[in-house]
């Protein structure tokens, strides 16, 4: 197993990274790329905290090989804000206190972004379905659902950042 130089497009920027085939996307993001906003929780694909978007698709970065997603567009939590301006979903999480310890938050937010991209007018049930694979062990799902609903409304009303 030889290390290879792989180019990974993360948050719009192309990085040349030395990886071995057995490195997961979460390891490469958090290690060589120093993008520690992506959290690794369970490491077995059950908690959702490592969720990133790969070509817009919600993907568990702990269960994805980095080498397999070269040539793809990867979006992590760091890529959501523009300058000082956070994404409306992030703003709604802040405004509505949808954060306790914060560990699950990046995964929750990226799932919410994928949801509102696909369905700008979700119901609370839709939000619960979409966040079904993201665990919050502080247990505060009500405010999280409130925040996603509020963000969806903001986005519908035309906050395009």
Partner 1 sequence: MKPFEYLEPATIAEATQLLSSHGEKARILAGGIDLLPRMRAGLIDGDYLISIRRIPNLDYLECDGFNGLAFGAMTKLRSLETSEALRSNYRSLYDAIHQITSIQVKCTGTAVGNLCVATPASDVATVLYSLGARVEITGIDGDRSEPIETFYVDAHRTCLGQGEMVTRVLVPSPAPGTQTVFLNLVKTHADVAKVSVAVAVTVEDGSCRDAKIAIGSVAPTVIRAYKAEAKLKGEELTPQLIQAAAITASGETRPISDVRSTAGYRKNMASVLVRRALEKALRRASDGSTKEENR
Name the residue nearer to partner 1 (CB basis): 48 or 88. Answer: 48
Q: Are strands 73-75 and 4-10 parallel, antiparallel or unpaired?
A: parallel
Question: DSSP states of 101-150 as a string?
Answer: S-SSHHHHHHHHHHHHHH-SS--HHHHHHHTTT---SS--HHHHHHHHHH
Name the residue nearer to partner 1 (CB basis): 3 or 102. Answer: 3
Name the residue nearer to partner 1 (CB basis): 22 or 138. Answer: 22
CB 82 to partner 1: min, Å: 25
Beta bridge partners of 85: 82
Beta bridge partners of 7: 16
Nearest to 88 by CA among 112, 105, 106: 112
The residues of the shown chain that bind partner 1, judged by CB under 8 A, are: 1, 20-24, 43-46, 48, 51, 57-60, 62-65, 67-68, 111, 129-130, 132-133
CB 121 to partner 1: min, Å: 17
Name the residue nearer to partner 1 (CB basis): 99 or 127. Answer: 127
CB 83 to partner 1: min, Å: 29
CB 63 to partner 1: min, Å: 5
Measured CA to CA, the distance from residue 155 to residue 71 in angstroms comes to 29
């Amino acid at each position: 197993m030889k290390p290879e130089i792989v180019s990974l497009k993360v948050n719009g920027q192309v990085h040349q990274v030395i990886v071995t085939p057995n490195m997961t996307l979460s390891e490469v993001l958090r290690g060589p790329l120093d993008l520690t906003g992506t959290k690794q929780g369970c490491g077995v694909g059950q908690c959702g905290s490592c969720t990133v978007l790969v070509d817009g698709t919600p993907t568990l970065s702990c269960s994805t090989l980095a080498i397999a997603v070269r040539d793809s567009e990867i979006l992590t939590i760091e890529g959501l804000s523009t300058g000082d301006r956070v994404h409306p979903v992030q703003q709604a999480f802040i405004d509505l206190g949808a954060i306790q310890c914060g560990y699950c938050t990046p995964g929750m937010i990226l799932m919410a972004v994928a949801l509102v991209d696909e369905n700008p007018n979700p119901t609370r049930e839709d939000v619960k379905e979409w966040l079904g694979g993201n665990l919050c062990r502080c247990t505060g799902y009500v405010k999280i659902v409130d925040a996603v609903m509020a963000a969806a409304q903001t986005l519908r009303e035309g906050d395009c950042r």
